[in-house]
C-alpha cells in the first residue's frame, strides 16, 4: 500500500483506489491511521466517490469513531 500512497491519486487505477480506501478505512477503525482524516476524506474518498459512486464505502454509512476494545472498561 505504501507504493500507492506515494502515487498521485490520478495515477491509481480503480481497483487500486478501492483497495487503498478499504485499507485506509480499516486501519483508521483499528486506531492506527495511515493518513490524516483530511487526506482520507478530501483526496482518497473524494476520488473514490467521483469514480465509483456506488462503491460500498460510499454507499454504507461509516461509524464516526473507531472502537479500541483494549481501552474499553
Q: What is the pLDDT of residue 28?
A: 92
| Higher-pLDDT residue of 22, 69 | 22
CA distance 45 to 43: 6
What is the grid cell recorded at 52?
465509483
Q: For 11-61, what is each residue's pLDDT tens digit?
A: 999 999 999 999 999 999 999 999 999 999 999 999 999 999 999 999 988
| Higher-pLDDT residue of 68, 26 | 26
pTM of the predicted protein model: 0.81
Q: What is the pLDDT of residue 61?
A: 80
What is the grid cell recorded at 55?
462503491
User: Under a CB-based contact definition with an 8 Å cutoff, are residues 17 and 9 in contact?
Assistant: yes
Amino acid at each position: 500500500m505504501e507504493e500507492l500512497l506515494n502515487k498521485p491519486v490520478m495515477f491509481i487505477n480503480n481497483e487500486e483506489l478501492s483497495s487503498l480506501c478499504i485499507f485506509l478505512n480499516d486501519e483508521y477503525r483499528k486506531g492506527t491511521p495511515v493518513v490524516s482524516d483530511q487526506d482520507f476524506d478530501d483526496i482518497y474518498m473524494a476520488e473514490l466517490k467521483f469514480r465509483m459512486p456506488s462503491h460500498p464505502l460510499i454507499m454504507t454509512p461509516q461509524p464516526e469513531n473507531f472502537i479500541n476494545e483494549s481501552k474499553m472498561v
